[in-house]
Amino acid sequence: MKKNETSLTSLISAFGRAYHSKYDTPKIFDDFIAKDLITQKEFADIRENMIKGIQFFNSKIAKKFQDHPDEILKWITQVQLSPTPLARAAYCENVLFHEMLLSVKQYVILGAGLDTFCFRHPELNDSIEIFEVDYPATQDFKKIRLANANYQIPDNLHFVSMDFTKEFTVQNLVEEGFMPNKKTLFSLLGVSYYLTKEENANLINKLFTKVPSGSSIVFDYADHKLFEEKGMSNRVQNMVQMASASGEPMKSCFTYDEMEKMLENSGLLIYEHLSPVTINNEFFRSRTDYLSAFETIHYIHAVKK
């Protein structure tokens, strides 16, 4: 990724969270700080570009709401952009709070982008050490945005700069205060599909080589139907096509058995697996808007034996 691409990806993600926090009810995941990390102009520009792109997503919706741009934006964000990022973030943080009761002291966010966890939970500053891992350019961008919004970086937040998909080393974490002998939760959200199966296996293996038993990881992955399933309003197909067009194609999908075997090879057991149906029931039930779980995306919480 180039510098401007990392910025754009994190901005669009923040846009989706900010939109949900401001406009959607009930909340799946309320990131009330995301809005502070994007400018009004950026919000307006992303909004305008999405509305202009409605023909790609759904020509019927484009025609139906041609005089109602806000309804077009709602459709795009709720159908295409937000469902997976919102629900997986909610799931991951639910797991984190549970794991903290079981003495987890370190939380490593791989591909953190403009994550706001520590700013939404200042009451945890003395309870957990947070390590955000991402490209140097993305982290520099975030630090500028935090400063512009007058957020002080707390002592328990550590920035670790690296391309973890290619060159992950525990040493880089250790240099920022990470303690390999302490029970740790890793999160790897929105990443696995962009790595090959071998790259996924290598990364997970490296993550868990030194941390103690009971350490765990939360991540999402695409099932074996990724490249054939169209999804509601072709949204799965759209996701795959957009990734390819952006120069960062989706590379892997797994059957449950393949995923179980890969984790087992790294000494991990699947503690919890959420299928699309389960995700829909847990996070999207009884909604009256467009939000629903993506048809091919699963969540896993796996624990080191």
User: What is the average pLDDT value for the chain, to the nearest integer?
Assistant: 96
Structure token pair of residue 300: 């896993």
**Domains of the chain, CATH where assigned:** 3-81 (no CATH), 84-304 (3.40.50.150)
Beta-bridge partners for 304 = 268
Reported as a single tens digit per residue, the pLDDT across 41-87 is 999 999 999 999 999 999 999 999 999 999 999 999 999 999 999 99
Structure token pair of residue 51: 């509305």
Average pLDDT on 101-109 reads: 97
Query: Cis omega before residue 26 (within 30°)?
Result: yes
Question: Do 6 and 15 meet the contact criterion of CB atoms below 8 Å apart?
Answer: no
Give the pLDDT of residue 80: 97
Altogether, the residues listed in the chain come to a count of: 305
Give the pLDDT of residue 6: 64
Q: How confident is the model at residue 9 (pLDDT cuts 50, 70, 90)?
A: confident
- Taking CA atoms, 291 is separated from 107, 192, 196, 229, in Å, by 29, 23, 29, 18
Residue 7 pLDDT > 80, yes or no? no
Give the pLDDT of residue 5: 64
Residue 279 pLDDT > 70, yes or no? yes
Q: How confident is the model at residue 8 (pLDDT cuts 50, 70, 90)?
A: confident
Give the pLDDT of residue 2: 52
Position 149, amino acid:
A
